[in-house]
Amino acid sequence: MNRSRLADLGLLLVAMMWGCTFLIVQQAVRVLPPLAFNGIRFIGAALLLTIIISLFYRSDWRKMSWTLMLHASLLGFFLFLGYAFQTIGLLYTSTSNTGFITGLSVVFVPFISLLLLKHKITWHTWLSALLAAIGLYLLAFAGTSYSMNHGDALILLCAIAFALHVAYTGIFAPKYPTLPLAAMQMAVVGILSLVSSFWFEESLYHQFQNTVESIMKPEVIIALLVSIGPTSALAFWIQTECQKFTSPARVAVIFAMEPVFAALTGVFFGGESLTYYAVIGCVCIFVGMILTELKSSSGKVQ
């Protein structure tokens, strides 16, 4: 199995981890404000990666440079914007709209890659992205009509931010050691999220008091442990390493599987059900992902 295929499998694992833990995180942010949760989550992930580097990859510290820190900070900034716009947008729009519009990053990434990396947009890429977008729509709305509101504009900015993060990771990942690049961007997201939480969510005193009380609740502790370890430190470690061997466009299509895993988790563990339209949507996304793999096996670049 070549490195490109292994990279795609690693990214699929990341999408599965994010999708399968959505219910856990969703329950936690009902208790702890979302920006505060993200602040603790990503600072914890940065500390965990720092410990791993210090114990097992000490030579990576010698590879640190100002350009690495600058580029990692840019990635962290894009990632923070994605989570922040998504969090604020959820106040003004539905979760269905949020899921669909966020997933549109699968369409934005090929265009950004064309501008930044000069990657040609082949018909395989077009078709994969189109299938994923159709699947996301069917999965999000399941036969209902789409209603536009002003919160959707914020979610659109979120999708663009996530697309920029995937595209720029494709540029920076091959240039730097994986762990320092991932750790630095986690720290930037965490710091910006905590500052934003204290600024927007509550006053500093009440925020600190409520955060301490909320962290002690079992559902929050479980969600933080899962988020800090598997779905942040490990997930972005895998993404950063895997994007050295695959294209951003393929990453976007593979990441479109996240809501599919979230939907399946809801069915098996959340007592939810999938409609006929939602099932078709899952199939469309899956076919789009398989198409990228078939294209990969032909040995041509997407």
pLDDT bracket for residue 94 (50, 70, 90)? low
Calculated CA dihedral for residues 138, 144, 147, 151, nearest 10 degrees: -60
Residue with tokens 């265009």: 111
Taking 60 as the threshold, does the pLDDT of residue 296 lie above it? no
Amino acid 260: pLDDT: 87
Report the length, in residues, of the chain.
Answer: 302
Taking 90 as the threshold, does the pLDDT of residue 235 lie above it? yes
Three-state DSSP class for residue 73? helix
Domain boundaries, the chain: 3-297
Tokens of 61: 């510290």
Q: What is the pLDDT of residues 169-192, one digit of tens each?
A: 999 999 999 999 999 999 999 999
Taking 60 as the threshold, does the pLDDT of residue 204 lie above it? no
pTM for this model (two decimals): 0.88
Residue with tokens 């795609």: 8
141-152 average pLDDT score? 67
Tokens of 172: 């920076």
Amino acid 202: pLDDT: 64
50-65 average pLDDT score? 94
Biggest distance spanned by C-alpha atoms of the chain: 59
Contacts of 184 (CB under 8 A, 6+ apart): 46, 68, 69, 72, 73, 76
34/212: higher pLDDT: 34
Three-state DSSP class for residue 138? helix
Taking 90 as the threshold, does the pLDDT of residue 197 lie above it? no
Taking 60 as the threshold, does the pLDDT of residue 302 lie above it? no
